[in-house]
Structure 1
Amino acid sequence: MLFDLPDHDTLYAALLARDVRYDGQAFVCVSSTGVFCRLTCPARKPKRENCSFHPTIGACIEAGFRPCKRCHPLQAAALADPAIAALLTALDERPDLRWSESHVEQLGFDLSTVRRSFKRQFGMTFLEMARQRRLREGFETLAEGGKVIAAQHEASFSSASAFRAAFARLLGCAPADLRADRLLRATWIATPLGDMIAVSSRTHLHLLEFVDRKGLPAELKRLQAGSKEGIGIGALPPSEQAASELADYFAARSGRFATPLALTASDFTRQVWDALREIPVGETRSYSDIARKIGRPSATRAVARANGANQIALMVPCHRVIGADGALTGYGGGLWRKQRLIEIERQLRSNSRSAPT
């Protein structure tokens, strides 16, 4: 389990030492390269601040990282299961193929057996792995200013309609709608915990969410509806500032966010969000704590709804709210991310206390 991993310093020391005791038990994701490795990888070791650690290959893939071509982290699982080995080899040989269940069956594999094997080893199915790999290539092309047709080919979709459909399912809008001349523009920010999408105007950040958050399409749809000309694509100053501040945050260098935020909501919801932003880094509060803070002690459920309505992750720190019994409770970005964010902020608090005055 993720929560049983040793602390960051222990794992980083194991990475430097290529400690075989952790081989297959933990994996390192390197934000500067976008790849994940076994801790015994022979490649040059990354800087401490560029590393995050996960207990499973699936968690690394879900966080947006690709397998290293030096240490081949998928190989151990592949060697343990001939079906996994064959399908991973087939995926490498045919990255252009839009994989389906029929392709898996044509290779002579039982669908339910393959599904269970991939879920057990990677936390996702083979088809999910193939689809995520293709879409990421397309997203990177769009984020760099490439045209839709170029992104379609990078994502290995044979038709523009198929690429648009896949894009729409994930982000709630077609890629052709993301033009570069809009007042609101979307861009991608890579983080150690997975890609994020940021939407900003020239003066304020309007949205910051992990790409795989289930509520993201609905949030983007609301922004689209509220803008007369829709959302474009490209980085604007608030998004660039957010990317810089997030880099410092994930490296445990700074927990301060000064990016100007567009917080459009009711007065009550704004009160809740303001209270969230007042929670010190490295600390947590319960929903009832927030309700008392804003002078509405009986409004715990309403506070929870306002917390869930937040669409600027991390900077409005809804991840700092936990259950009254100390349980993590729900988080749109996934409980594993919530746990890691809390760990990062504890490290930030520790760093600030030990810093020379």
Structure 2
Amino acid sequence: MQMTLSFVPSQTEMETAFYRKDGSYDGLFFVAVRTTGIFCRPSCSSCPKRENVEFFLSLREAVLAGYRPCKRCRPEISLGQPPPWVSQLMERVEARSGQKLSSDDWQELGITPERARRWFQDHYGMTFVDWCRSRRLARAFAQIREGEPLDDVVFAHGYDSYSGFREAFAKTFGVPPGQAKTQRYIAVELIETPLGLVVAGAVDEGLCLLDYCDCRSLERHYATLRQRFDSAVLPVSHPHLDRLKTELGEYFAGERTTFTVPVALEGTPFQVTVWQELQRIPHGATIAYDELAQRIGQPTAMRAVARANGTNRISIVVPCHRVIGKDGSLTGYGGGLWRKRLLLELERTGQLPGN
């Protein structure tokens, strides 16, 4: 079914969401208050009178209209960028070749280890200490596969002994360093998008994860990937992820309607069948769950189809957002209905609302 409706929220819907303080609309629109000259997220706790409120579909429009950002809800902080302190922390770790940060480093950066632990746990599915360890071991892993002497690798990455390195390596990869040349891993990277920070994962066969960092299912996806691929998750680059970043940029610019990056669909035979059918839904079109069930030859399996749709781990590229309710309603989406609306509007018009 071709989309004929705009998925931009109506004035009434925006008013209702704002006065309900509905955080699922954060990022979909902004609320400006004429009497104070500020603009907020829909979830902001402020409660101005209705006659003093106006709505904007982008941060840029609100700023150009002369409004300044609310100091309470901070709407100017882009959903697509990690906080500056995280970037500084990563740069410091890389500059020290993955060595542990000293107390002076933490003090100079003005960051507490606990704050870093929480952020990396929420966005990478691992603590900051685990992230640092994974970075060191990933570099060691690559060097071993390239044939560098094991002794050189061990001491180059800050390990005092071969036994300590071997224990850490085996804990991460499930095999001793001597078997590194035959061991696989899942490479993960954070990618900035107009809809927020996403985490992408890839194995040699293709893309195996693309999910929003604030998605509640992210930790479950990590666990499933580790089990399905029997591999460690490492924060490193991969050619498939480089290709994905390029194609996502083109997609959000309205210049790409299909993705060519390969995907690695790991699931039950039924799930894989549903996910493959999702990839056949044309850009700019939507279908209902019952039609999706009919397309895979199981017209009575609508609930099972909906569950498989909800367990899709590769958002956007495997377009589960193109499945809507039979009555045209958006229904659920793991990344939030506001993201589903924006994706459909992008595909309908060729640009995100407000651009």
Same-fold status (TM-score > 0.5) = yes
User: Corresponding residue for 1:168?
Assistant: 121
Change (3 A) 1:134 1:158: farther
Give the Å deviation of 1:218. Answer: 1.3
User: Corresponding residue for 2:344?
Assistant: 342
Change (3 A) 1:270 1:143: farther
Based on CA coordinates, which of the two structures has the bigger radius of gyration?
Answer: 2
* Whole-angstrom distance in 1 between the partners of 2:346 and 2:84: 26
Dislocated runs of 4+, deviation >6 Å: 150-155
* Whole-angstrom distance in 2 between the partners of 1:287 and 1:144: 48
Q: How many positions carry a matched residue from both structures?
A: 249
User: Corresponding residue for 2:86?
Assistant: 138
* Whole-angstrom distance in 1 between the partners of 2:266 and 2:229: 13
User: Corresponding residue for 2:278?
Assistant: 276
- Equivalent residue in structure 2 for 1:4, among 10, 18, 35: 10
* Whole-angstrom distance in 1 between the partners of 2:230 and 2:302: 35
Change (3 A) 1:27 1:275: closer
* Whole-angstrom distance in 2 between the partners of 1:283 and 1:144: 45
Q: SS of 2:187's equivalent?
A: strand
User: Corresponding residue for 1:73?
Assistant: 68
Over aligned residues, Cα RMSD in angstroms? 3.6
Q: SS of 1:311's equivalent?
A: coil
Give the Å deviation of 1:234. Answer: 2.1
Q: SS of 2:196's equivalent?
A: coil
Q: What are the within-5 Å matches in structure 2 for residues 60-139 of structure 1?
A: 73-74=68-69, 77=70, 84=72, 118=73, 137-138=85-86
- Equivalent residue in structure 2 for 1:157, among 111, 114, 118: 111
Kept in 1: contact 2:81–2:197 (CA 8 A): no
* Whole-angstrom distance in 1 between the partners of 2:91 and 2:257: 26
- Equivalent residue in structure 2 for 1:222, among 221, 224, 239: 224
Q: Give the fraction of aligned pairs with identical amino acids, expressed as a percent.
A: 31
Q: Structure 1: any 5+ residue segments left out of the alignment?
A: 6-19, 30-35, 42-70, 79-83, 85-117, 124-128, 350-357
* Whole-angstrom distance in 1 between the partners of 2:210 and 2:109: 24
User: Corresponding residue for 1:8?
Assistant: none
- TM-score, structure 1 as length reference: 0.60
* Whole-angstrom distance in 1 between the partners of 2:128 and 2:225: 15
Kept in 2: contact 1:171–1:220 (CA 8 A): no
Higher relative contact order (CA 8 A, sep 6+): 2
User: Corresponding residue for 2:297?
Assistant: 295
* Whole-angstrom distance in 2 between the partners of 1:162 and 1:23: 29
Q: SS of 2:199's equivalent?
A: strand
* Whole-angstrom distance in 1 between the partners of 2:252 and 2:108: 29
Give the Å deviation of 1:4. Answer: 3.1
Give the Å deviation of 1:329. Answer: 0.4
Give the Å deviation of 1:223. Answer: 2.2
